[in-house]
Structure 1
Amino acid sequence: MREMRIRPARAADAGAITELVHASSAYQGGYASILDGYEVTGAQVEATVTFLAEDDAGDVVGCYSLVPGDAELDLLFVADAAQGTGLGARLVRHMLERARELGLTSVRVVSHPPAEGFYRRTGAVRVGTVPAKPPKVPYERPELRWNLVADRTGDVFV
């Protein structure tokens, strides 16, 4: 496996992020409609906390985008070839560290239905369901949340 590094995204990375998103086999078939016409913009990258994972050849193999004002994970993608390497969990840990640094007490994610188990394994708890919004999103999506504050015993969740 190649070495992966995580770095802040720049506006100029928007095209590579868009390519990564559209290349995902997780959004084919019945899930493809959500990406119809979707494009990550440079303004979006600059307005969010967005990081890329690159391999040692400089290829983008993962990314995430955190919207601090909404305390929401907007994007998390890992290239198909990098699935199962632990990169997704590493990106979530990185994102949660940034969220804590920003003073967030929790982070919400509206999950792609097949990704719910992954998010649960990273410590997110299901808090609801987001209804379908046909025709673009013809299916319900799980809503999950990572709690970043200490409980009464001082244990921090996640």
Structure 2
Amino acid sequence: MRPGITSRARRTLGEDVGIRRAGARDAKRLTRLVRTSRAYEGPYAPMVAGYRVGHDYVETHRVFVAVGETTARLLGFYSLILDPPELDLMFVADDVQGAGIGRLLMGHLSNEAHEAGVTEVRVVSHPPAEGFYLSVGARRTGTVRAAPPAVMWDRPELVLPVV
């Protein structure tokens, strides 16, 4: 996996992208990104309809945000839980998907996990996102069965080796 945004993406975005640790002040923007994600339209909408990324969540977990360096615009984020190692949340703003933000975040996640002594990270994927995780080096290990009423569909379970 080659982290970083492409020069084409940099031209599209019009700025460089940085990653920083999220703070409590980011919670509302993170919640908005989750709730407005087109990936959760249609049958997936109920899962994020009332979802909230709270101040306590941001302060308790390793949450990192990708932001435009000149605009400070929130472009995406992820949350890494270390015990046991799992990617808990990952979202990229709809209008910048395909620009390399997800790959940049996954590269950062891999570095964070490596520095924490983690050798692999579990990913329970939103079904339409499985191809992305496979493209960044994850491998499928199974299926997490639906758990109504919270999750009404089966989800791919993957593991991302940390190098």
Residue of structure 2 in register with 1:51 after alignment:
64
> What do you get for the CA RMSD once the two structures are aligned?
1.0
Residues of 2 paired with 1:11 and 1:103: CA distance?
Answer: 26
Residue of structure 2 in register with 1:104 after alignment:
118
Question: Which of residues 22, 31, 38 in structure 2 aligns to 1:25?
Answer: 38
- Counterpart of 1:46 in structure 2: which amino acid? E
Gaps of 5+ in 1: 149-155
Residue 4 in structure 1 maps to residue 17 in structure 2: yes
Residue 90 in structure 1 maps to residue 92 in structure 2: no
Residue of structure 1 in register with 2:85 after alignment:
71
Q: Report the Cα offset of residue 97 of structure 1.
A: 0.5
Residues of 1 paired with 2:57 and 2:50: CA distance?
Answer: 15
Give the fraction of aligned pairs with identical amino acids, expressed as a percent: 48
TM-score, normalisation: structure 1:
0.91
Question: Could you say what secondary structure the match of 2:83 adopts?
Answer: helix
Residue of structure 1 in register with 2:48 after alignment:
35
TM-score, normalisation: structure 2:
0.88
**Structure 1: which 4+ aligned runs deviate by more than 3 Å?**
none
Residue 140 in structure 1 maps to residue 144 in structure 2: no
Residues of 2 paired with 1:77 and 1:37: CA distance?
Answer: 16
- If asked which structure has higher relative contact order (CA below 8 Å, sep 6+), I would say 2
How many residue pairs were aligned? 149
Residue of structure 2 in register with 1:153 after alignment:
none
Assess if the C-alpha contact under 8 Å between 2:140 and 2:159 holds in 1: yes
- Counterpart of 1:33 in structure 2: which amino acid? P
Q: Report the Cα offset of residue 33 of structure 1.
A: 1.4
Deviations 1:44-80 (A, max 9, x none): 1111111111112111110000011120001111001
Gaps of 5+ in 2: 1-12
Question: Which of residues 94, 97, 111 in structure 2 aligns to 1:80?
Answer: 94
Q: Report the Cα offset of residue 11 of structure 1.
A: 1.5
- Counterpart of 1:71 in structure 2: which amino acid? P
How do 1:112-131 and structure 2 match up within 5 A? 112-131=126-145
Residues of 1 paired with 2:50 and 2:34: CA distance?
Answer: 12
Q: Report the Cα offset of residue 5 of structure 1.
A: 1.2
